[in-house]
C-alpha cells in the first residue's frame, strides 16, 4: 500500500525544526519510510545549522533510513507556500525498491562525479523496467565577495578574463556553474531510466547551496535515488516561454558552452540589449533583475524551447546558467499568466495520482512572488491533496531520449 | 509553543535578513512594531518618517481600497517599501534593500499577512 507524507517546520531553530518535520512527517505515514527527503531554505545555514537540522531529524528517524535532500528557494505543500522553513517527504511502499547514490566534486569534474554516483547506484541490483532516477545536484554559485548583489560586472579584468580562466577557476575553487547538463549527459549514458530532479539553491542570490546525504552536509555534490516501481510513474513538464526575438546566431563562445561572447559577430551583450531596445546607459541593476527573470535566452532541443537564465552580464560575455550546445538562440519571454497556465497544464491528471512531486525554478517563484498562492489554488481546485512542489536552481527531466536541464520550467512526477 | 501575538508575528518576519524594518500600521492609531534597535536600517530616520506619515498614506489608500487595492510598493533611495493592505485602515509595512529578491520576500509577507488576519479574526 502506497503512503506518502509531507512535513513542515517554520521554526528558526534548526534542531527543533528537524525534530518537528520528522515527527509530523512520520506520524502521517502508514508504515516505515523507504526514504526521507528534506528541503530546507538557506536560512538555517548559520552556526552549522544544517548539521543540527539533520541531527534533529535523526533524533526521530531510524538511522538506517536513506535521507537525501538539498536547499531550495521555496516550496508549496498542503500547508501553504513558503520561502523560509523546511519541508520533507517520506514514502512508504513495500513494492518500491530503491538505491541511493552520491557523487562528489561536481564542479571540478562533472563526468567523474556522475561516474561515482552511477557506481554507487549500480551496487544494488535492480530490475530495469519502471525505474526513475531522482536527482539533486549542486546549483550554480556566484562569488558573493566579488559580485555582491550585482549581476553586471563592469570590472574590466573580470570582464575580459573570467570566461577564459573559468575552467581553471572552477577546478580549483569549485565555485561557479553547476554543470548539470554534463552530469546528466554521463548519467544518461549510464542509465536508460527516466529522470527528474532539481538543483540545490539559496534565496535566489546564488551565493551558496547545500546537498544532504544521510547526516552529511555537502557542497558541489550530486545525491539521488534510483526508484523501481511495479507501475509506470508519469513524468511531465511544461515551459512557459514564448519567443521574443529573431533567431540569433552565437558566433563566439567558450569551450564549455556557458559564456556567450559574440552574437551575429557583435558583442553579445550589445546585441542582447539592442534586441530588448534598452540603451545600456539606462540599465540599472533593478532593471537587470527584471530582464533576467522575464527575458531568458532560449534554445530549441527538438521541438522544445528551453530557458537558459543569464546569471552574469559583462561587456564581454553573457554567462548562461546552463550549457548552450547549439549556436542558434532566441531571447524568450514569459508572463505571470503564462506561468500559471503552465502549472495548470503540468498538474493535469495529478488528481488521479497517489502523490505529486514537482520541481520548478526559483526564477519562476521570484517572478510570481505572492502570486505563487495562485498555484496552490490551482492544485486545490484540481483536487490534488498530497503534493510537494520545490523551487530550485535548475530543473531536469528525461522523459524520452535525451535528458534536459533548464530554467523557468516545471516538471512533475505522478506516483 | 508561546501564544502568537501581533508583535511576535512581526518579529518573526524581521528575522528575514532582507526585512530591514517592519510595522503593522493603523490609521489614527499607534503602529505595532518590534523595537527599532532590532531594525537593520543604516538610516533609521526613514522608518521614523514613514511612521509619521502613515495617516497621509491611508488617506490615499482608502480612496483606492474599494477598487481592490491590495499592495503598494515604492522605491526610496537604497530601500524599497512594501505595503500589504490588511484592511482599508491597516497595513503590513516593511522596508527591504532595493536589490533584494522581492518575489521571495513577498511570499513571507503574504504568510505574515495571513497570520495577522487570523489574529484579528480571533481577537488576539
Cell of A235: 513524468
Residue A364 pLDDT class (50, 70, 90 cuts): very high
Query: What is the pLDDT averaged over residues A378-396?
Result: 96
Residues on A contacting B at a C-beta cutoff of 8 Å:
12, 43, 73-74, 80-84, 149-150, 203-205, 285-286, 289, 362, 365-370, 372-373
Q: Report yes or no: A69 and A136 within 8 Å, Cβ to Cβ.
A: yes
Residues of A in contact with B17 (CB under 8 A): 203
**Residue B101 sits at the chain A interface (C-beta within 8 Å):** yes
Give me the residues paired with residue B37 across strands: none
Q: How many residues does chain B have?
A: 124
Q: Report yes or no: A61 and A228 within 8 Å, Cβ to Cβ.
A: no
Say if B53 falls within a structural domain. yes
Q: What is the gyration radius of the CA atoms in chain B, in angstroms?
A: 14
pLDDT at B124: 64
pLDDT at B1: 53
pLDDT at A338: 93
Query: Nearest Cα to A139, choosing from A396, A400, A399?
Result: A396
Q: How far apart are CA A16 and CA A3, in angstroms?
A: 25
Query: Nearest Cα to A222, choosing from A307, A377, A104, A366?
Result: A104
A126 half-sphere exposure, CB direction, 13 A CA radius: 26
Q: Report yes or no: A91 and A98 within 8 Å, Cβ to Cβ.
A: no
pLDDT at A6: 97
Q: How far apart are CA B71 and CA B105, in angstroms?
A: 13
> Min CA distance, B80 vs chain A (Å)?
11
Say if B88 falls within a structural domain. yes
Query: What is the pLDDT averaged over residues A388-408?
Result: 90
Q: Report yes or no: A208 and A44 within 8 Å, Cβ to Cβ.
A: no
Q: Report yes or no: A201 and A391 within 8 Å, Cβ to Cβ.
A: yes
Residue A172 pLDDT class (50, 70, 90 cuts): confident
- pLDDT tens figures, B4-48: 899 999 999 999 999 999 999 998 888 899 998 999 998 888 898
Q: How far apart are CA A112 and CA A101, in angstroms?
A: 13
Q: Per the CB < 8 Å rule, is B71 touching A370? A: yes
Q: How far apart are CA A365 and CA A389, in angstroms?
A: 11
Residue in B12, B101, B111 nearest the CB of A82: B111
pLDDT at A63: 95
* Global pTM value: 0.93
Say if B104 falls within a structural domain. yes
Q: How far apart are CA A347 and CA A376, in angstroms?
A: 11
Query: Nearest Cα to A365, choosing from B62, B106, B9, B13?
Result: B106
Q: Report yes or no: A50 and A217 within 8 Å, Cβ to Cβ.
A: yes
- pLDDT tens figures, A15-48: 999 999 999 999 999 889 999 999 999 999 999 9
- What pairing do the DSSP bridges indicate for beta strands A310-314 and A152-153? parallel
**Residue B34 sits at the chain A interface (C-beta within 8 Å):** no
Say if B95 falls within a structural domain. yes
Give chain B's domain count: 1
Q: Per the CB < 8 Å rule, is B106 touching A369? A: yes
The CATH number of the domain holding residue B111 is 3.30.450.190
Which of A10, A71, A84, A150 is most worth mutating to test chain B (most B CB atoms within 10 A of its CB)? A84
| Phi, psi (degrees; rounded to nearest 5) at A246 | -65, 165
| Phi, psi (degrees; rounded to nearest 5) at A298 | -135, 150
pLDDT at A378: 97
pLDDT at B13: 97
Q: How far apart are CA A26 and CA A272, in angstroms?
A: 50
Residue A153 pLDDT class (50, 70, 90 cuts): confident
pLDDT at A65: 96
Q: Report yes or no: A218 and A68 within 8 Å, Cβ to Cβ.
A: no
pLDDT exceeds 60 at position B2? no
pLDDT at A159: 77
Q: Per the CB < 8 Å rule, is A80 touching B111? A: yes
* Residue B64, domain extent: 6-122
Residue in chain B closest to A11 (alpha carbons) equals B12
As for the ipTM of the complex, it is 0.91
Say if B108 falls within a structural domain. yes
pLDDT at A58: 98
Residues of A in contact with B111 (CB under 8 A): 80-82
Give me the residues paired with residue A167 across strands: none
Q: Which residue has the cell 549581476?
A: A151
pLDDT exceeds 80 at position A399? yes
Which of B107, B110, B117, B118 is most worth mutating to test chain A (most A CB atoms within 10 A of its CB)? B107
pLDDT at B77: 86
Say if B112 falls within a structural domain. yes
Q: Per the CB < 8 Å rule, is B107 touching A369? A: yes
pLDDT at A105: 95
What percent of chain A lies above the pLDDT cut of 90? 69
- What pairing do the DSSP bridges indicate for beta strands A234-238 and A410-414? antiparallel
Residue A372 pLDDT class (50, 70, 90 cuts): very high
Cell of A327: 549556436
Residue A75 pLDDT class (50, 70, 90 cuts): very high
Query: What is the pLDDT averaged over residues A292-311?
Result: 89
Say if B1 falls within a structural domain. no
Q: How many CB pairs under 8 A join A and B?
A: 58
> Min CA distance, A223 vs chain B (Å)?
26
- pLDDT tens figures, A312-335: 888 888 988 888 989 999 999 998
Contacts of A407 (CB under 8 A, 6+ apart): A296, A307, A308, A309, A321, A322, A361, A363, A393, A394, A395
- pLDDT tens figures, A232-274: 889 999 999 999 999 999 999 988 888 999 999 999 999 999 9
Q: What's CA B11's distance to the chain center, in Å? A: 11
Say if B65 falls within a structural domain. yes
- pLDDT tens figures, B66-104: 888 999 998 888 899 999 999 888 999 999 998 889 999
**Residue B82 sits at the chain A interface (C-beta within 8 Å):** no
Residue in chain B closest to A371 (alpha carbons) equals B107
Residues of A in contact with B99 (CB under 8 A): 149-150, 285-286, 289
Label residue B51 exposed, middle or buried (CB < 10 Å: 0-12, 13-18, 19+): middle
- pLDDT tens figures, A236-246: 999 999 999 99
Amino acid at each position: 500500500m502506497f503512503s506518502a507524507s509531507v512535513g513542515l517546520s517554520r521554526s528558526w531553530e534548526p534542531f527543533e525544526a528537524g525534530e518537528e518535520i520528522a515527527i509530523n512527517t512520520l506520524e502521517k505515514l502508514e508504515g516505515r519510510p523507504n526514504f526521507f527527503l528534506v528541503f530546507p531554505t538557506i536560512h538555517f545555514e548559520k552556526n552549522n545549522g544544517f548539521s543540527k537540522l539533520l541531527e534533529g531529524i535523526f533524533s526521530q528517524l531510524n538511522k538506517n533510513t536513506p535521507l537525501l535532500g538539498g536547499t531550495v528557494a521555496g516550496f508549496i505543500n498542503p500547508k501553504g507556500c513558503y520561502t523560509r522553513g523546511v519541508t520533507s517527504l517520506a514514502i512508504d511502499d513495500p513494492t518500491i525498491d530503491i538505491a541511493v547514490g552520491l557523487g562528489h566534486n561536481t564542479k571540478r569534474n562533472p563526468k567523474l562525479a556522475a561516474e561515482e554516483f552511477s557506481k554507487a547506484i549500480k551496487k544494488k541490483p535492480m530490475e530495469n523496467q519502471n525505474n526513475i532516477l531522482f536527482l539533486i545536484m549542486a546549483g550554480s554559485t556566484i562569488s558573493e565577495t566579488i559580485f555582491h548583489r550585482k549581476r553586471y560586472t563592469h570590472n574590466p579584468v573580470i570582464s575580459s578574463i573570467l570566461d577564459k580562466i573559468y575552467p581553471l577557476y572552477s577546478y580549483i575553487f569549485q565555485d561557479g556553474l553547476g554543470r548539470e547538463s554534463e552530469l546528466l549527459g554521463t548519467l544518461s549514458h549510464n542509465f536508460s531510466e527516466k529522470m527528474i530532479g532539481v538543483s540545490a539553491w539559496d534565496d535566489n542570490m546564488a551565493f551558496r547551496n547545500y546537498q544532504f546525504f544521510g547526516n552529511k552536509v555537502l557542497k558541489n555534490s550530486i545525491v539521488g535515488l534510483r526508484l523501481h516501481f511495479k507501475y509506470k510513474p508519469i513524468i511531465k513538464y511544461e515551459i512557459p516561454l514564448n519567443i521574443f526575438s529573431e533567431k540569433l546566431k552565437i558566433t563566439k563562445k567558450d569551450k564549455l558552452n556557458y559564456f556567450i561572447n559574440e552574437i551575429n559577430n557583435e558583442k553579445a551583450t550589445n546585441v542582447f540589449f539592442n534586441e530588448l531596445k534598452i540603451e545600456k546607459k539606462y540599465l540599472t541593476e533593478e532593471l537587470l533583475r527584471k530582464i533576467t527573470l522575464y527575458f531568458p535566452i532560449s534554445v530549441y532541443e527538438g521541438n522544445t524551447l528551453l530557458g537558459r537564465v543569464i546569471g552574469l552580464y559583462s561587456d564581454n560575455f553573457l554567462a548562461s546558467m546552463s550549457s548552450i550546445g547549439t549556436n542558434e538562440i532566441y531571447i524568450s519571454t514569459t508572463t505571470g499568466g503564462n506561468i500559471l497556465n503552465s502549472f495548470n497544464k503540468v498538474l493535469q491528471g495529478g488528481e488521479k495520482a497517489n502523490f505529486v512531486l514537482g520541481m520548478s525554478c526559483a526564477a519562476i517563484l521570484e517572478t510570481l512572488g505572492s502570486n505563487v498562492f495562485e498555484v496552490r489554488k490551482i492544485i486545490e481546485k484540481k483536487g490534488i491533496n498530497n503534493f510537494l512542489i520545490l523551487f530550485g536552481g535548475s530543473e531536469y527531466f528525461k522523459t524520452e531520449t535525451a535528458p534536459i536541464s533548464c530554467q523557468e520550467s516545471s516538471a512533475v512526477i505522478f506516483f | 509553543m508561546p501564544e502568537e501575538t501581533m508583535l511576535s508575528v512581526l518579529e518573526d518576519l524581521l528575522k528575514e535578513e532582507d526585512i530591514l524594518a517592519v510595522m503593522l500600521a493603523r490609521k489614527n492609531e499607534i503602529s505595532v512594531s518590534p523595537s527599532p534597535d532590532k531594525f537593520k536600517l543604516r538610516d533609521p530616520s526613514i522608518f521614523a518618517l514613514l511612521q509619521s506619515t502613515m495617516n497621509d498614506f491611508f488617506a490615499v489608500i482608502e480612496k483606492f481600497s474599494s477598487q481592490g487595492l491590495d499592495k503598494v510598493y515604492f522605491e526610496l533611495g537604497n530601500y524599497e517599501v512594501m505595503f500589504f493592505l490588511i484592511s482599508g485602515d491597516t497595513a503590513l509595512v516593511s522596508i527591504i534593500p532595493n536589490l533584494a529578491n522581492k518575489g521571495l520576500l513577498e511570499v513571507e509577507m503574504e504568510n505574515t499577512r495571513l497570520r495577522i488576519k487570523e489574529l484579528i479574526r480571533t481577537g488576539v
